[in-house]
Amino acid sequence: MNALCIAGGRVLRPDCSVEAADVVVDRDTGNVHDVGEEIAAEYDGETLDAAGGVVMPGLVNAHTHAAMTLLRGYADDKPLGSWLREDIWPAEAALEPEDVRAGTELGIVEMIRSGTTAFADMYFEVPEVAAAVEESGMRARLGHGVVTVAKDDEDAAEDVEESLRVAREFDGAADGRVRTAFMPHSLTTVGEEFLREATATAREEGIPLHFHANETTDEVSPIVDDYEKRPLSYADDLGMLSEQDFVAHGVHTDAEEIELLAARGTSVIHCPASNTKLASGIAPVQQMLDAGVTVGIGTDGAASNNDLDVFDELRDAAMIGKLGADDAAAVPAAAAVTAATAGSADAIGLPGGRIKVGGAADLIVVDFDAPHLAPAHDVVSHLAYAVRGSDVRHTVCDGRVLMEDREVQTLDEERVVETARERAASLVERAE
């Protein structure tokens, strides 16, 4: 066997218990072959040193717009509606395919360096996004975001078609590491007939849906006013809530909508930093978990966060979950860590999220030697409340080492950062 041994660390198991163990990966299948105490010596092959560290599933960023790293810090301190309309959309109108490539690569480098092995991305120029994912060795579910409002019928129909087209064309790319979805931007930015027809097509072809839902009260009231029903019940009537589908945000969801999500098996991606920064509101995460909804964690784009560090995000999820529930016991450490790993992976329908024999070898090693992690009474507590993305030492996806001793192996980090700086500068000039 072509083995990769992650040796000498403590391993976080799917039930959040922690045990001293080596993890042996079969690099040919990309799966975990064995987990056990001091078993590394039984195998030839490459070794990754995990001494003093914790081996855990790679984090999954279940909702982002990776290329928006180019707009990091471009427009801050505004609510969603005016932020999008006054700043972000005008800048995005000037995006060229090469910008999307550069921004996505920058996002990917940031994610690999902070321990993320998979992500779900909604953006433009998806062929560029897919190429970046392929080169980087990460896993992703990708889609073209559709907006039909303020477009004539022909342009609107073409945008919808583009999203279905890329969903068909790129599914299974990068040796199966790329999967796809049909991605209408939101229930208020895509017209009802477009949603109805395209969803029916997606359903026939087994294509999942991903969209922003109930992010702000401004997204809820127009639907309640026009249709006399809550947004998720509107989405359900259009056939948009199935087991394969996942919605971003779900901030303003009432008890009936939460029940509906649970009944349909539709997942919610919680984006606490973006919801805080845009003052969108606090999602009822503990209620969702109690109802049996699969909850994943996403950073959203870097322009509303402003980083792609999922450790930061899961910490925010735990903190804000308590504030929202007015209960310090809400969204405890293990729930937040599980949401950012197994929850996110399940929500976006990709392998990973748990270290188990036969499962995908998407895992990271977190260095626990740092002063801010001493003492370590409770590993899971640290993973939720004290670890930072910069504590990640190695990142492995599909059995391949993407970062070793903080050196990204698959992309040239220096070139990626330099290119992104250049493209961002000229993008902003063109947008003005």
Ligand X SMILES: N[C@@H](CCSC[C@H]1O[C@@H](n2cnc3c(=O)[nH]cnc32)[C@H](O)[C@@H]1O)C(=O)O
Would you tell me which residues interact with Zn ion (CB under 5 A)?
A: 300
Least CB distance to ligand X at residue 83 (A)? 8
The site partner of 317 among ligand X, Zn ion, none (C-beta below 5 to 8 Å per kind) is none
Six-digit token pair at 391?
């504590």
Q: Is 185 annotated as a binding residue?
A: yes
User: Which of 167, 124, 121 lies closest to 141, judged by CA?
Assistant: 121
Q: Is 128 annotated as a binding residue?
A: no
Q: Which is nearer to ligand X, 304 or 395 (CB)?
A: 304
Q: Which is nearer to Zn ion, 128 or 300 (CB)?
A: 300
Q: Is the dihedral of CA 359, 178, 60, 109 positive or negative?
A: positive
Least CB distance to ligand X at residue 382 (A)? 29
Asked whether position 219 contacts ligand X by CB under 6 A, the answer is no
Asked whether position 159 contacts ligand X by CB under 6 A, the answer is yes
Among 10, 27, 33, 65, binds ligand X (CB under 6 A): 65
Asked whether position 185 contacts ligand X by CB under 6 A, the answer is yes
Q: Which is nearer to ligand X, 54 or 88 (CB)?
A: 88
Q: Which is nearer to Zn ion, 53 or 272 (CB)?
A: 272
The DSSP output letter for 209 is B
Least CB distance to Zn ion at residue 305 (A)? 10
Segment contacting ligand X by CB under 6 A, of 30-38, 118-126, 128-136, 192-200: 118-126
Least CB distance to Zn ion at residue 218 (A)? 15
Question: Residues touching ligand X: how many (CB under 6 A)?
Answer: 19
Six-digit token pair at 2?
């072509």
Site string for ligand X, 71-90 (x = CB under 6 A): ---------x---x---x--
Q: Is 377 annotated as a binding residue?
A: no
Q: Which is nearer to ligand X, 145 or 351 (CB)?
A: 145
84 contact partners, CB below 8 Å, separation of at least 6? none
The site partner of 215 among Zn ion, ligand X, none (C-beta below 5 to 8 Å per kind) is ligand X
- Assess contact for 295 and 61: CB atoms under 8 A: no
User: What DSSP element (H or E) covers 394?
Assistant: strand 392-397
User: Which of 366, 368, 361 lies closest to 396, judged by CA?
Assistant: 361
145: left (phi over 0), alpha (psi -120 to 50) or beta: beta
Alpha-carbon distances of 54 from 127, 129, 237, 380, rounded to whole Å: 35, 31, 45, 10
Site for ligand X in 299-328 (CB under 6 A): 300-301, 304
Q: Which is nearer to Zn ion, 171 or 300 (CB)?
A: 300
Six-digit token pair at 253?
């969801």
Cα distance between residue 176 and residue 412, in whole Å: 23
Q: Is 92 annotated as a binding residue?
A: yes
226 contact partners, CB below 8 Å, separation of at least 6? none
Q: How many CB atoms lie within 10 A of CB 425?
A: 11
Asked whether position 24 contacts ligand X by CB under 6 A, the answer is no
The site partner of 123 among ligand X, Zn ion, none (C-beta below 5 to 8 Å per kind) is ligand X
The site partner of 99 among Zn ion, ligand X, none (C-beta below 5 to 8 Å per kind) is none
Q: Which is nearer to Zn ion, 105 or 300 (CB)?
A: 300
Q: How many CB atoms lie within 10 A of CB 135?
A: 14
Six-digit token pair at 115?
């321990």
**How far from each other are the two terminal CA atoms of the chain, in whole angstroms?**
56
- C-beta nearest to Zn ion: residue: 300
Q: Which is nearer to ligand X, 130 or 147 (CB)?
A: 147
Q: Is 394 annotated as a binding residue?
A: no
Q: Is 362 annotated as a binding residue?
A: no
The site partner of 147 among ligand X, Zn ion, none (C-beta below 5 to 8 Å per kind) is ligand X
The site partner of 69 among ligand X, Zn ion, none (C-beta below 5 to 8 Å per kind) is none
Asked whether position 147 contacts ligand X by CB under 6 A, the answer is yes
**Contacts with ligand X, residue ranges (CB under 6 A):** 65, 80, 84, 88, 92, 122-124, 145-147, 159, 185, 212, 215, 274, 300-301, 304
